[in-house]
Amino acid sequence: MAASCVALVAVVLLLLLPVVLLGLWKRGQQTGRARHVVVVVLGDVGRSPRMQYHALSLAQSGFSVTLLGFYNSKPRDELLKSERIQIVKLTDLQGLGAGPRILQYGVKVVFQAVYLLWKMMCTDPAAYIFLQNPPGLPAIAVCWFVGCICGSKLVIDWHNYGYSIMGLVHGPRHPIVLLAKWLVFRRYEKFFGRLSDLNLCVTNAMREDLAENWCVRAVTLYDKPASFFKETPLDLQHELFMKLSRTYSPFQSCSEPSDSDTERSAFTERDCQSGVVRRLHGRPALLVSSTSWTEDEDFSILLRALEKFEQRALTGDSLPSLVCVITGKGPLREHYRHLISQKHLQHVQFCTPWLEAEDYPLLLGSADLGVCLHMSSSGLDLPMKVVDMFGCSLPVCAVNFQCLHELVKHGENGLVFTDAEELATQLQMLFSKFPDPAGKLSQFRKKLQESEQLRWDESWQQTVLPLVTHK
């Protein structure tokens, strides 16, 4: 047994020797390294907006950037067109259908560790490695190892904790989750968090938790809307609605215009001769929610609230019809689409599209109300979707959790609810006599328009740029 262990260690060291030698050679290549950064996300780049923003901000600040991640969804055009950003596509391990789940997970971790190590050693020498966590297993260890042998500083951007994300899938008391929490993530993330050169996090609550429980010092970098999240001009709204109407019936007009020179959606119409666009009288209200369709968002709350809204609309309350658009991809999408298909409401229509990256800000900037059902698995992160909605001056109703007050101020820039009954009451209040310029919905929008919201680029330059240019 001892001989076998010695042999295994010898094989591992033999395999790592070329990697170490290559790393030491790269450490000596000083030319260009100070202005090169590697950004790593062991997830879908297209669905990792914060890491895309990091890459863009680094590029705009004069760094060359290598972005490593899975390429399941198209990133933003700015990222693809930037001459300073190179995207290296990672391949996920698929088809592990045999054996115990914990064994499958172990094999996947080993594969990802070797594969990520190989990919990172093939990149140019870098001054910094920016890493999104979670997922941090095995990425944190690999990035730290590469940093050690290549002379790169490791920057961990803490979005959440690995064990809390795993608990969403299996349940917080599942043996695998408890094992992961106490024997893997708690010690693994804590150990490497202390070894990293710089830690960023998304809330003050997470910063305090990292400091008190893990002795990890972090800098809070709040998610902020990018500059392209803004109110959509009416003519662009109409173009978007007409585009969506070709695929999704809720965006189609209920009646054909009498004038052949007029084109009409469910919300707007355009005079093709003059180009003038106007909102339709009696149009439905547009309610938007975005999601990754995972266990941390219970959309049954919204469905029950809309059923209650329907009942109140049928009793004669002055309420508009609603078009409810829920965007995103994820594992529970088909589950909820099946539940939605069973709803037969007279005053509510549903639409569950996957939008192009450039269309999503236009939709938020065209909507009347945003709804957020994000329930933080750790209670320490904030929903980026609300940040984007606020950037578009879109009023929001958000389900409450521990640190939501760092973003949503109830009654000031939005409303907070705890259950379907409370959300239904809020919808009734906000949409009463819609569109009422003196109503609460218009008041919230006006406050958001008047507020001086810090954008991502400004926040990043104030918070992160001094840290990565400090000599």
For residue range 236-266, what is the model confidence (pLDDT) as tens digits?
999 999 999 999 999 998 877 767 778 999 9
> What is the spatial distance between Cα 14 and Cα 433, in angstroms, rounded to a whole number?
74
pLDDT higher than threshold 50 for residue 7:
no
pLDDT of 31 reads 52
Banded pLDDT at 6 (limits 50, 70, 90): very low
- Structure-token pair, residue 33: 């390294």
pLDDT of 67 reads 97
420-467 pLDDT per residue, tens: 999 999 999 999 989 888 889 999 999 999 987 889 999 999 999 999
The single-letter code of the amino acid at 373 is: L
Buried b (16+ CB within 10 A) or exposed e, 398-432: bbebebbeebbeeeebbbbbeebebbbbbbbebbb
Q: Which residue has the tokens 């009793």?
A: 315
Contact 159, 135 (CB under 8 A): no
Contact 324, 287 (CB under 8 A): yes
pLDDT higher than threshold 80 for residue 315:
yes
pTM for the predicted model, two decimal places: 0.87
Banded pLDDT at 109 (limits 50, 70, 90): confident
> What is the spatial distance between Cα 83 and Cα 183, in angstroms, rounded to a whole number?
43
Average pLDDT over residues 42-54: 92
> What is the spatial distance between Cα 168 and Cα 171, in angstroms, rounded to a whole number?
6
> What is the spatial distance between Cα 278 and Cα 238, in angstroms, rounded to a whole number?
9
Banded pLDDT at 122 (limits 50, 70, 90): confident
pLDDT of 177 reads 64
pLDDT of 340 reads 87
pLDDT of 144 reads 94
Nearest C-alpha neighbor of 161 from the set 143, 183, 184, 185:
185
Banded pLDDT at 186 (limits 50, 70, 90): low
Q: Give φ, ψ of 409 to 5 degrees.
A: -100, 110
pLDDT higher than threshold 70 for residue 471:
no
Stated as kind and residue range, the H or E segment containing 129 is: strand 128-133
pLDDT higher than threshold 90 for residue 337:
no
pLDDT higher than threshold 50 for residue 8:
no
Q: Identify which has the larger pLDDT, 91 or 52.
A: 52
pLDDT of 199 reads 96
> What is the spatial distance between Cα 381 and Cα 402, in angstroms, rounded to a whole number?
9
Average pLDDT over residues 372-398: 91
Neighbouring C-alpha atoms within 13 Å toward the C-beta of 267: 26
Question: Crossing angle of helices 139-150/101-121, nearest 10°?
Answer: 30
- The number of residues in the chain equals 471
> What is the spatial distance between Cα 167 and Cα 182, in angstroms, rounded to a whole number?
13
How big is the chain by its Cα radius of gyration, in Å?
25
